[in-house]
Amino acid sequence: MANDTFQFLFAQTAPANATNYWDQTLKANLYGILLAITGNFLISISLNLQKYAHIQLSEKQNPKPYYNSWIWWCGIFLMGIGELGNFAAYGFAPAMLVAPLGCVSVIASAIISVVFLRETLRASDILGGALAISGTYLLVTFAPNVSQQITAYKVQRYCVSWQFLIYLIIEIIAFCILMYLYKKKNVKHIVVVLLIVALLASVTVISVKAVSGMITESVNGSIQLIYPIFYVMVVVMIASCAFQVKFLNQAMRLFKATEVVPINFVFFTASAIFAGVIFYQEFQGVAFLNIFMFLFGCLLSFLGVFLIAKNREEKTSEIPFIDLGQIPGKKSTDKIQPDTSSASYGSVNAEDDEGPKAFT
């Protein structure tokens, strides 16, 4: 039966209805690709606008709060539009294609920061950008052309499929182990934290695509919003997004952004591909060459993002200081500039007659 269907869809003398199906699928994928690329490009602009607003405020003697800057609010607005574009893209294109296109944001952000923020252009940026663009081309060219008509009936059927149930059980067990290591054993390794984010991201991708797909079908005339599964997916989407952002923020607090960004991109993309393959069966009926070239495109994008983020300098204060805060039993010393060449480095002189007292 599957072979008959494959021959029916890909025969050289295909009937008119098969040709229309193929054209509609290609057109839907194109819409999703354009929405994802545009959304990620707007997100990169928004991040650089917010960064520029913070730079401007830091140069003023009496800076106002960043939320009073119209530039910062422009960045927030563009980020909202970009995320909306990404959300809509899941309703047209496969999840395994939309997620890797997040590398567009990294490429565009690097270009914008060099052109407008006058950051240094490095050889690794050029090589990484070339690899990421090549990978994006392969992703778009060899992406699976499967139907993206997501209905409530399909989502319900996918939820009880044996492959998804096995995947869900494995994911729950892995999540519990990682949370045990993170909370009980206090393992704060970057891989542990970002694996938790990735497991949550796979659930987010499944629910976002379900919600976006059913909204798209409803707009096209086939109302899907009357089914309970739609609202179940909305709740799952909001909850998984909230916890994902929570752990991602913790990762950004514990580790450098140059470490978090590339690793999170790889983990998120891998989780989205797994979610698309297992839940939405997006590799079903796809030729082996297409699968290989698609995964090779993902690999090139991963390498490109790593090279762009590798050893990128983070701006810090030009004058180092130690903020001692309020030390119990002593007067406030505010900020003390250390002189590393001095023999008394690491000590302060008390203002009374008790003489110098070293402390750590």
Structure tokens at 183: 């909370």
CB-based contact 102:309 (threshold 8 Å): no
Amino acid at 40: N
Q: What's the rounded Cα separation, in Å, for the pair 10 and 3? A: 11
Give CA 131 to chain center in angstroms.
Answer: 19
Q: What's the rounded Cα separation, in Å, for the pair 47 and 54? A: 11
Q: Residue-wise over 193-218: b if at least 16 C-beta within 10 A, else e?
A: bbbbbbbbbbbbbbbbbbbbbbbbbb
Question: pTM for the whole thing?
Answer: 0.76
Q: What is the pLDDT of residues 241-285, one digit of tens each?
A: 999 989 988 898 888 877 888 899 999 999 999 999 999 988 888
Bigger pLDDT: 206 vs 6: 206
Q: What is the pLDDT of residues 54-110, one digit of tens each?
A: 888 877 777 777 777 888 889 889 989 999 999 999 988 888 889 999 999 888 888
pLDDT for 87 equals: 93
Asked whether residue 342 carries a pLDDT value surpassing 80, the answer given is no
Asked whether residue 129 carries a pLDDT value surpassing 80, the answer given is yes
Q: What are phi and psi of 329, to 5 degrees?
A: 80, 0
For the ranges 125-139, 179-193, 261-275, 334-348, which has the lowest average pLDDT? 334-348
Structure tokens at 135: 């990978």
CB-based contact 237:204 (threshold 8 Å): yes
Q: What's the rounded Cα separation, in Å, for the pair 338 and 88? A: 53
CB-based contact 40:101 (threshold 8 Å): yes
